[in-house]
Amino acid sequence: MADSWVNSEGSIGSDLLLELAGPGSRRAVLIRALREAVRDGRLAPGTRLPPYRSLAADLGLARNTVADAYAELVAEGWLTARQGSGTRVARRAAPVASARTPHRAPHRPAEPVHDLRQGQPDAGSFPRSAWLAAARRALNAAPNDAFAPGDPQGRTELRHALADYLGRSRGVRTTPDRIVICSGFAHALRLLTACGVVRGRLAVEAYGLPFHRSVLEAAAVRTVPLPLDADGARTGELTGLSGVRAVLLTPAHQFPTGGPLGPERRAAVVDWARSRDGLLVEDDYDGEFRYDREPVGAVQGLDPDRVLYVGSVSKSLSPAVRLGWMVLPERLVERVLTAKGEREAWASVPDQLTLAELIASGHYDRHVRRMRRTYRDRRDRLVAALAARAPHITATGIAAGLHAVLRLPPGTERSTVKAATWQGLALDGLDAFRHPDAPADAPDGLVVGYATPPDHAFGAALEALCRALPPA
């Protein structure tokens, strides 16, 4: 029928009647009109809305205006969007029973159903049996002095095991006496600032963990952002930064944008450090988990006297195991140990002995290889789900690590994060990691961690993610 605006298939025909009146921008007016159409029952739950291009042409609006209005209403729970099914009125968005009944917005889930935040391994995959067996062997073999006040530098057993492991797996050039055990990367940063190795102005990547920047800010260290592109940080721009003699990078797998630091840029940052009598603090983020080719070696191997290499087991084992390490230039070891102090709360000696035994026995390598296969499978399932359900969304930074960045249409990041919340997902937008002084010129995106959900729930997490993504 010519005057009917809902056809027999439950989708809106060309005669959708919307009253675009009242104060506000065209986008705000359109959102308000669509809400009212749902509230009063003119748009029934499950009704398919026209493609935003068609509605834009019918209403004389810009396509982006309609697309953004759809995305906002998806984020609020009024609409749903699925690849191949279009944009529909949400089933829970039923009309009110009476004009006198106050409208109640859908309740936001109190807790996320699926955790897709970055940087967290699969907690259920912790090698409990191997850890327990290693702890028994290590404690049985430990000398009595292992249970006396410890050495702030760390147990010699662990430092020897790490010197061997890092040399063969990451290309790190070191000896046990140049390794200082710490409780993780943030602890390492605090020690480096406390002893004055990192001070004043520090160059950092334009995107990174805000928590690390806050640690530096608390120590009166001003961070200066370096631009990023497909080859990582643009280290050639270090020469133009006045007063900067140290830089913090994630060369193995830039966090969060992904990808290793290019060979020419690795050489450039080492040359810069030599010319300035400067230092590179190398955060070996996700260094163990590379999927599509052999792991990229540490920059530290190019110049052990100019690079401070920092690693931990927070991704390979668990963030609950508070163990990390610094591989330092020889001249800096005593300075760091002085800052650490004789009574500093260093990492647990039994845990150090257990990790040393786990590495020496080969169980640590076997665990990392097993998890590399598991996380690669998770990565592949994510990419396949996007190809099937949202082919207009590109996943980048997927050659390594525990997360991917999903590139979104311009202007949709904030509304997509909201939509993900309504789908019971915990994840972050790319902009959450941008340095406050860096230009906001990167594409919109989601930082999606694929390691945390247990295997039995991963499929449901991907389904919820695809429902939250904006339509093409």
Cα 68 off chain centre by: 25
Domain total of the chain: 3
Average pLDDT estimate for 416-442 = 90
Average pLDDT estimate for 63-72 = 85
Instruction: Give the type of residue at 179.
Output: I
On the question of pLDDT at 445 being above 60, the answer is yes
Mean pLDDT, rounded, of the chain: 87
Q: Are residues 382 and 460 in the same domain?
A: yes
Encode pLDDT of 180-191 as tens digits: 999 999 999 999
Q: Are residues 347 and 373 in the same domain?
A: no
- Residue that has been written with the tokens 């994060």 in this structure: 417
pLDDT for the residue numbered 344: 57
| 451 and 120 Cβ atoms separated by less than 8 Å | yes
Burial class (CB in 10 A: 0-12, 13-18, 19+), 231: middle
Where a domain ends, among 321, 338, 362?
A: 362
Where a domain ends, among 107, 136, 171?
A: 107
CATH of the domain at 5: 1.10.10.10
Q: How many CB atoms lie within 10 A of CB 277?
A: 8
Share of the chain above pLDDT 70, in %: 91
Q: Are residues 192 and 173 in the same domain?
A: yes
Q: Are residues 133 and 118 in the same domain?
A: no
| Of residues 400 and 84, more confidently modeled | 400
Q: Are residues 253 and 385 in the same domain?
A: no
Encode pLDDT of 202-260 as tens digits: 999 999 999 999 999 999 999 999 999 888 999 999 998 989 999 999 998 889 988 88
Q: How many CB atoms lie within 10 A of CB 455?
A: 12
Q: Are residues 199 and 335 in the same domain?
A: yes
Encode pLDDT of 241-251 as tens digits: 989 999 999 99
Q: State the pLDDT confidence band at 3, using cuts at 50, 70 and 90.
A: very low
pLDDT for the residue numbered 343: 63
pLDDT for the residue numbered 439: 85
Helix axes 363-389, 128-141, angle to 10 degrees: 160
Rounded alpha-carbon distances, angstroms, from residue 17 to 27, 32, 35, 44, 166? 16, 13, 13, 14, 67
Q: Are residues 89 and 163 in the same domain?
A: no
Q: How many CB atoms lie within 10 A of CB 426?
A: 17
Rounded alpha-carbon distances, angstroms, from residue 206 to 127, 213, 299? 35, 11, 19
Helix axes 363-389, 455-468, angle to 10 degrees: 30
Q: Are residues 75 and 214 in the same domain?
A: no
Q: Are residues 97 and 142 in the same domain?
A: no
**Range with lowest mean pLDDT among 42-56, 104-118, 349-363:** 104-118
Q: Are residues 370 and 313 in the same domain?
A: no
Instruction: Give the type of residue at 315.
Output: K
On the question of pLDDT at 105 being above 70, the answer is no
Q: State the pLDDT confidence band at 98, using cuts at 50, 70 and 90.
A: very low
On the question of pLDDT at 95 being above 80, the answer is no
pLDDT for the residue numbered 15: 55
Q: Are residues 393 and 414 in the same domain?
A: yes
Picking from 38, 105, 112, the residue whose alpha carbon sits closest to that of residue 77 is: 105
Q: State the pLDDT confidence band at 4, using cuts at 50, 70 and 90.
A: very low
pLDDT for the residue numbered 99: 41
Q: State the pLDDT confidence band at 8, using cuts at 50, 70 and 90.
A: very low
For residue 308, what are its two tokens?
């401070």
Where a domain ends, among 362, 386, 403?
A: 362
Q: Are residues 142 and 290 in the same domain?
A: yes
Provide the terminal-to-terminal Cα distance of the chain, rounded to the nearest Å.
30
Question: In terms of residue numbers, what domain contains 448?
Answer: 114-122+366-468
CATH of the domain at 438: 3.90.1150.10
| Of residues 442 and 339, more confidently modeled | 339
CATH of the domain at 250: 3.40.640.10
Integer Cα distance of 127 and 317 in angstroms? 8
